[in-house]
Structure 1
Amino acid sequence: MANLRQIPLTCSGHTRPVVHLDFSGITESSYYLISACKDGKPMLRQGDTGDWIGTFEGHKGAVWGVALNQEATRAATGAADFTGKVWDAISGEELHSFQHNHIVKSVGFSKDSSALVTGSNERLVRIFNLENTESSSDIFSGHSAGVRHALFFRNDRCLVSCADDKTLRVWDRASGQEIQKLDFPAVPNSLEVSRDGSVLTVAHSKTVTFLNADSLQKIKDFSIPTTVNSASLHPDKTIFVAGGDDLKVYKFDYVNGTEIESFKGHFGPVHCVRFSPDGELYASGSEDGTLRLWQTTVGKTYGLWKCVDGNQLNNDSLTQKEVIAS
């Protein structure tokens, strides 16, 4: 099929910038997508089509962080109203609300969904026990500026966080102590743990850095043509995607850092990118208030995705290859 172009599936509904997203699901072929937006209304969607499932209503400020547990039965959100909330992802019911003393920027579930980690502008990382919500949170203190991302790490024995103090830190859950620290030349804008837990992906300034998850030794890093706000490594570690201030979504070869292609579909800076659990798609969220789904291998038959001939399209702003969903 000649002259294929990559037409992303665009998901509307948000009225303000999309700042974070997360994929999860019961199986690799059945998964869901949750998005955080400054309109205060996080949305749950079907992962492979972007079809809207529901909106979690209850926050009174911009939502900065979202997460789904592995079974996609629970959702978590963190917001500018100083709360982290846990929701029933099936009914949409709010289950728990945890008060903080500042904006909650990050939320994440443990593998068994028994605990929630939050990172906030309190400069603290907290763990809340979801099986005993009346108990006090475990507090991890050491960052000297607001925490941007905090995740369970190393089979939940540890936590990993990054903050506006230009550091990445690893915390031991049992002792509550910081056990590793890494300094960056710029604020880490995004943090991702690979699906097998072996690689950390960190976006900072115009660079994407990949770290060994055990030693924190740098595996490699690559320069990006723009200030990069988010990056995601494909599950098979062959490629990675990145997005930033120049409105483009980039795809790179993970082995040598060669740019494979880039697409300019958004009308504002790209704030977040993430691969789906099966690696067939990646999602991007932008200042323009939209989510877009992109096919990893252009032209591959996948679910409802089909190819269109680029000659039938009239959109000079799009680059070489795009796919369309129906």
Structure 2
Amino acid sequence: MAGLRQTPLTCSGHTRPVVDLSFSDITPFGYFLISACKDGKPMLRQGDTGDWIGTFEGHKGAVWGATLNRDATRAATGAADFTAKVWDAEKGDELHSFSHKHIVKSVDFSQDGKTLLTGSNEKILRIFDLEKPEAEPRQFLGHTSNIKAVRFNKDCNQVWSVSDDKTLRVWDVNNCKEVHSIEMPSAPGSLELTSDGSIFTATYGNFTVFYNAENFEKIKEIKAPAPVNTASLHPSKNFFVCGGVDFKMYKFDYFTGAEIESFKGHFGPVHCVCFSPDGELYASGSEDGTLRLWQTTVGTTYGLWKCVAPDIDSGDSNSSTINASGAQTTGTATEAVKVES
């Protein structure tokens, strides 16, 4: 499959920048993808194809954060209307709305889906008990500027946060105290935990940096050609992808730091990226108002990407591809079908 061109699936429907993305785990119905957008209308899609399923309507401002619980039965969003909302992801109904005193930038479910973590421009982290939504949330105080992203660790006994105050902080869930703080050279842009819970990935400036989730030690940092806003480590931990201000998606070898490949598909800065739970694709969101799905291994048959090997016996050096509508085309690159919502 050498020389095949990366052709992302372009998922339209949003009207303003896409600023956050999150996949569910693999469920009996496949896996799902939620997008947060400044148009105030977070969208749910089938994860492997990008097909639109529904839009969560109720926020009165830009939506900055969005996530799904593990089995994709619940969604959570954080917005500029100073609320975090929890939704029935199967019916689209709003279940809870939690008021804040400033913009909610990031949300995350615990592993069991029973609690919701939020980070806001109040410089406060909160954990809400979804089984007792009327109860006062636990609060974590210490950041001195806007919180950009928050995540539970694997055991949900700690939470991690990054902020415009140029720190990454770790907090104890039980006593709401800070247990560790990491100073960064510039404000971090993103925060992600690997599926096995062993590594936290963050970005700042031109760098993607990796931390051991157990002892908080820096494992390594790798420099990109341009400032990056977001990065995601593949489930295999062999490579990672990142994107930023130059509109490109980069893939780097995790061990050597060597750039493997880069692709330009967006028409604006890349704000968010994450790998699917099976690692077969990654999704990116951009200032251009689209989210795009990219193949991890270009040329494989997966989702809406169809690739058939060349007919060697007939001497045909081109590969034949069949798109989702059944129409057959010919070319040396895998062709993708644009997903309209």
Query: Normalization by structure 1: what TM-score?
Result: 0.94
Contact 1:209 1:222 in 2 (8 A): yes
User: Which amino acid in structure 2 is aligned with residue 324 of structure 1?
Assistant: A
The aligned counterpart of 1:317 is: none
1:252–1:2 CA distance, 2 compared to 1 (3 A): closer
1:269 Cα shift?
A: 0.5
Paired with 2:267 and 2:143, the residues of 1 have a C-alpha distance of 34
The aligned counterpart of 2:314 is: none
User: Which amino acid in structure 1 is aligned with residue 52 of structure 2?
Assistant: W
User: Which amino acid in structure 1 is aligned with residue 72 of structure 2?
Assistant: A
Segments ≥4 residues shifted beyond 6 Å: none
**1:117 and 2:129 aligned:** no
The aligned counterpart of 1:224 is: 224
* 2:189 partner SS: strand
Paired with 1:293 and 1:122, the residues of 2 have a C-alpha distance of 33
The aligned counterpart of 1:60 is: 60
Task: Please list the CA deviations of residues 67-96 of structure 1 after superposition, one character each: whole Å capped at 9, or x if unmatched.
Answer: 000010000000000000000000000000
What does 1:129-168 align with in structure 2 at a 5 Å threshold? Answer: 129-168=129-168
Contact 1:28 1:277 in 2 (8 A): no
Structure 1 alignment gaps of length 5 or more: 313-319
Alignment RMSD (CA, Å): 1.9
The aligned counterpart of 1:248 is: 248
Paired with 1:64 and 1:204, the residues of 2 have a C-alpha distance of 19
The aligned counterpart of 2:295 is: 295
The aligned counterpart of 1:104 is: 104
The aligned counterpart of 1:194 is: 194
Paired with 2:172 and 2:131, the residues of 1 have a C-alpha distance of 21
1:29 Cα shift?
A: 8.2
Moved more, 229-238 or 215-224: 215-224
User: Which amino acid in structure 2 is aligned with residue 6 of structure 1?
Assistant: Q
Paired with 2:152 and 2:111, the residues of 1 have a C-alpha distance of 8
The aligned counterpart of 1:7 is: 7
Paired with 1:277 and 1:67, the residues of 2 have a C-alpha distance of 14
What does 1:21-32 align with in structure 2 at a 5 Å threshold? Answer: 21-27=21-27, 30-32=30-32
1:306 Cα shift?
A: 1.4
User: Which amino acid in structure 2 is aligned with residue 191 of structure 1?
Assistant: L
The aligned counterpart of 1:324 is: 336
Task: Please list the CA deviations of residues 130-172 of structure 1 after superposition, one character each: whole Å capped at 9, or x if unmatched.
Answer: 0001100100000000111111114101111111101011111
State the identity as a percent.
63
Structure 2 alignment gaps of length 5 or more: 309-317, 322-331
Paired with 2:85 and 2:146, the residues of 1 have a C-alpha distance of 19
Moved more, 163-172 or 146-155: 146-155
Moved more, 66-75 or 146-155: 146-155
Bigger Rg over Cα: 2
Paired with 2:335 and 2:243, the residues of 1 have a C-alpha distance of 19
User: Which amino acid in structure 2 is aligned with residue 97 of structure 1?
Assistant: S
The aligned counterpart of 2:329 is: none
Paired with 2:306 and 2:270, the residues of 1 have a C-alpha distance of 25
What does 1:166-181 align with in structure 2 at a 5 Å threshold? Answer: 166-181=166-181
Contact 1:294 1:323 in 2 (8 A): no
User: Which amino acid in structure 2 is aligned with residue 170 of structure 1?
Assistant: V
Paired with 1:91 and 1:205, the residues of 2 have a C-alpha distance of 40
Paired with 1:110 and 1:120, the residues of 2 have a C-alpha distance of 18
Paired with 2:333 and 2:36, the residues of 1 have a C-alpha distance of 28
Paired with 2:199 and 2:130, the residues of 1 have a C-alpha distance of 28
Paired with 1:121 and 1:47, the residues of 2 have a C-alpha distance of 30
The aligned counterpart of 1:263 is: 263
Query: Normalization by structure 2: what TM-score?
Result: 0.90
1:321–1:241 CA distance, 2 compared to 1 (3 A): farther
User: Which amino acid in structure 1 is aligned with residue 336 of structure 2?
Assistant: I
Task: Please list the CA deviations of residues 182-234 of structure 1 after superposition, one character each: whole Å capped at 9, or x if unmatched.
Answer: 01001110000111000010110100001111111111110011110000000
Contact 1:299 1:323 in 2 (8 A): no
